[in-house]
Amino acid sequence: MISTLKQESTEKYNAIDKPEISLLLCCSRTRLNHSIKKQIKLLVKQDIDWQYLISLASQHGVVPLLFNSLNNTCPELLPADILTNLRTYFQVNAQRNLFSIAQLLKFLSIFEANGIDAIPFKGATLTASAYGNMALRQFNDIDVLIRKEHVKKATEILINLGFNPPKKNTEAIDKPYLENNYFLESNEYQGSYDLYNPKTNVAFEMHWSLTTKQFPFSPTFQDLWENTEPVIFAGRKVPQFTKEILFIYLCVHASKPKHTWSELKWICDLSELIQSNPGLDWEKVHQKAKIWGCDRIVNIGLLLAHNLLNLELPEHILLKINQDKVAQRLVKEVVNRIFTKEFMGVDEHIFVVKSRERLQDKIYCLSYFIFAPTAKEWNYIALPKSISFLYYLIRPYRLVKEYLTSAATRKSKIKSGAGMGEVLTRSLSGLRILPFKRRSQPRKIRHCSHFIGQKVP
């Protein structure tokens, strides 16, 4: 029997200072022991701002888990309208997920008939492997990994099925920089196409790489194809990554630039996957992670699941991850901003660099941030393709100029009498942060479709 260290609360974080956040963390799981149920009941009896709680759960993609835990613990303690709306949200999400599975099976059959190897990941296969109940996880699109040489053929098939052409392709006329493969927004750089079917409201993400060039992750399609295992949907075997590779990928996905562990659902995925697969080969996980240069990223994921969701881990794993002091510091950064979204720009890229343990990966990530041009460089100055290589110099120039201008503006505002709080508020005004207000009485929330943002066909 694997020895484990039970963890009740190893860290106290300043960010977790609201009962709504504590309640959300208690509910963001499928397994509720006596202690967690007791804590949920105590928290529900407090002056909970239900609008804030549900909006927060929606942002973090864990509304189904919130409803499931509350409904199985103390439904009688919830305001009637809140419970009704959460239940409706849960049911609509379940219907949507089942429809997505049917669509996935249809696409896989067509790809197979056309000689296209495809591996679905995230979405439906992850929900089945980690949660065991298709209603308990939110996912909005279908993600499939295929060989790069099959991209053109697969794209034509989907267009014939009613999907709009990839957005980046249709935008190339108005945004000619997208044709330059070294631009951040280009298809070659991103390693994926986004396609959408307006009739069925299905979004399909076709990947030929699991990460962008900015965030190196080295397994080839053949590596992954040879390390798949089946998951059963409607009596049909569907290939998916082995649990060990899936776990590593989930950590990498959550660590990518623009993600950087900003959603609780990614941490829930790790916790649920581990608990649903007690036979996980930890030696293989760390062996592969070390080869692919993401051992620290795996440590960060494990620490977050352990500290935020009370995930029990084998003792030798706890000893290993607790020796990674850099990972521990990065975890504190994540927790102190995950519920405030106060993570942006340069700080985000510094986090990404720190999360890599190999020097070559640090240099690679940093160089792409400094030199890889984006739409901002194109808007700054439009160069003809013959001299577009100059964008590699324009990018660092623009970054330095933007930073100095921003720093000077902040300094000027402080000297003119603006308080630091006002300066920070203005500097964050461009971010999509919802302004929540505490209320003494809960206000009735809108119908769940307001949060889902889509209808079931």
- Measured in degrees and rounded to the nearest 5, phi and psi for residue 277 equal -135, 70
Neighbours of 209 (CB within 10 A): 17
Q: Are 36 and 279 in contact (CB under 8 A)?
A: no
Query: Per this entry, what is the length of the chain?
Result: 457
**Running DSSP on this structure, what letter comes out for residue 51?**
H
Task: Report the phi/psi class of residue 235: left, alpha or beta, with left for phi > 0 and alpha for psi in -120 to 50.
Answer: left
Residue 390 in tokens: 């100059």
* Confidence at 13, pLDDT banded by 50, 70, 90: low
- How many CB atoms lie under 10 A from the CB of residue 283? 10
The pTM of the full predicted model, rounded to 2 decimals, is: 0.82
Q: Which residues, at least 6 apart from 52, have a Cβ–Cβ distance to it below 8 Å? A: 20, 436, 437, 438
Contact criterion met (CB below 8 Å) for 118 and 157: no
* CA dist., res. 50 & res. 55, Å (int): 8
Which domains, and CATH codes, for the chain?
10-78 (no CATH), 91-241 (3.30.460.40), 259-372 (no CATH)
Closest by alpha carbon to 144, among 184, 99, 97, 111?
A: 111
pLDDT on residue 240: 95
Please report, rounded to a whole number, the percentage of residues in the chain having pLDDT higher than 70.
78
pLDDT digits (tens, 9 = 90+) for 52-109: 999 999 999 999 999 999 999 999 999 999 999 999 999 999 999 999 999 999 999 9
The per-residue pLDDT for 394 is 87
pLDDT level of residue 158 (50, 70, 90 thresholds):
very high
Cα–chain-centroid distance for residue 179? 27
Please name the residues in contact with 230: beta carbons below 8 A apart, sequence gap of 6 or more. 237, 238, 239, 240
